[in-house]
A and B are shown apart, each in its own frame.
Chain A
């Protein structure tokens, strides 16, 4: 079987329409909103502030803490039970690990920087949108960072290597009768922009070594596109009138 045309008509390497804005939550020390297709992530950064409970404090450097939450109405209509769950906890953990390599909190021992990521609407690629938004929000909060993190999913749908899968592509067997027995692999990737070092790499499904390398090459190009959107949004925040 071959996957001839992407369900929403995009090219294989084309990302969904993106929109980014910095400074959307005025109460927070830094914030950003990042939309890619129908997926929408809002990140708010608070801190550095005092960390409690005390045993979590690190006397050598500050702690970066992430929270991930899908809003109850954010999915396809089925109400999502609010509050934490195992999936959210795991995603929060991988997100903070994806951001940590660039964030420099050595000037803030025993303190914490909290990153809250809320998703008002989801259509696959939420952790990637969340990381891209969080990276902008951290920069907006003035946290020292050696670089920006840009994140996007790549993968293989049937026989094609594609960038930025949406929900229908992730579940291609349900939505495309032609691909009823197709296999899908979905690989969220986060990269440090200048060096293209990978800070997040997960996968659903299976993929061959050759295809994985091809997919990661595509991810380099795709994360650069995300970076341009992030850069533009950050610069617009302090644009001259």
Chain B
């Protein structure tokens, strides 16, 4: 007889028993030992039919192919740039992936993207050893100029974006700022100084209250005073 021991959206801790019996299956961040299923991280329980998943409440960003991230250029190599991804691993941005324009062999790469510049890039490849290739050759990927960078926990990024981008659109509309959210937890905000400040605070508020319900109303109330 199988038994479910947690409810949907319960906070569970590592090693907590989620279910007994063989009718349930361990999903992401859960594992089975004998006839019990345990959690592997601190997070919210998620019951999808017979599969038990845990949505982490905190934790490092795990690089995924196709993610749009914001990185900082930390070095220039023979064939491209080395980009800090705000994780334990840095990525390579190859010359041929950097621009749609042809870059000649003898060109000075630091004239195109200098060390210390931030770039919005897309992850095109991740190996088992977490060697990363990124690309900037798509619409919506560019070198960042001006504005400010805010660092938040990458697990909170989905809440900052909201359903179909509702949260980020709300903050954009209310503050008049341009906002780009990288999946790795870096957020770029550009606008008037007051708007940037307000938007930064709103993003921080979302990060802090991410696990609570009624987040949109809270943010709307916070920004309402504009």
A123 partner residues in chain B, CB cutoff 8 A: none
Contact A102 B15 (CB under 8 A): yes
Residue of A nearest to B62 (CB): A107
Interface size in chain B (residues, C-beta < 8 A): 30
| Any A CB within 8 A of the CB of B14 | yes
Whether B40 pairs with A148 at a CB distance below 8 angstroms is no
Which residue, B13, B89, B129, B213, has most C-beta atoms of chain A within 10 A? B13
Q: A109-B129, A234-B42, A240-B212 are in contact. Are A48 and B14 (CB under 8 A)?
A: no
Of the candidates B31, B42, B56, the one having the most CB atoms from chain A within 10 angstroms of its own CB is B42
Q: Chain B's interface: helix, strand, loop or mixed, by majority?
A: loop
Are B42 and A142 interface neighbours, CB within 8 A?
A: yes
Is A29 interfacial (CB 8 A cutoff)?
Answer: yes
Give Cα A145 to B54, complex, Å: 13
* Across-interface contacts of B130 in A (CB, < 8 A): 108-110
Q: Which A residues are in CB contact (< 8 Å) with B13? A: 139, 148, 230-231, 234-235
Would you call the interface of chain A mostly helix, strand, loop, or mixed? loop
| Proximity string of chain A (226-240) to chain B, C-beta cutoff 8 Å, 1 when within and 0 when not | 000011001100111
Within 8 A of A (CB), among B25-58: 29, 31, 38, 40-43, 56-58
A interface with B by C-beta (< 8 Å): 29-30, 47-51, 59, 62, 102, 104, 107-112, 139-148, 192-194, 230-231, 234-235, 238-241
Query: What are 8 A-B pairs at a CB distance below 8 A?
Result: A48-B88, A109-B129, A139-B13, A142-B42, A148-B14, A235-B11, A235-B13, A240-B211
Chain B residues within CB distance 8 Å of chain A? 11, 13-17, 29, 31, 38, 40-43, 56-60, 62, 87-90, 128-130, 155, 211-213
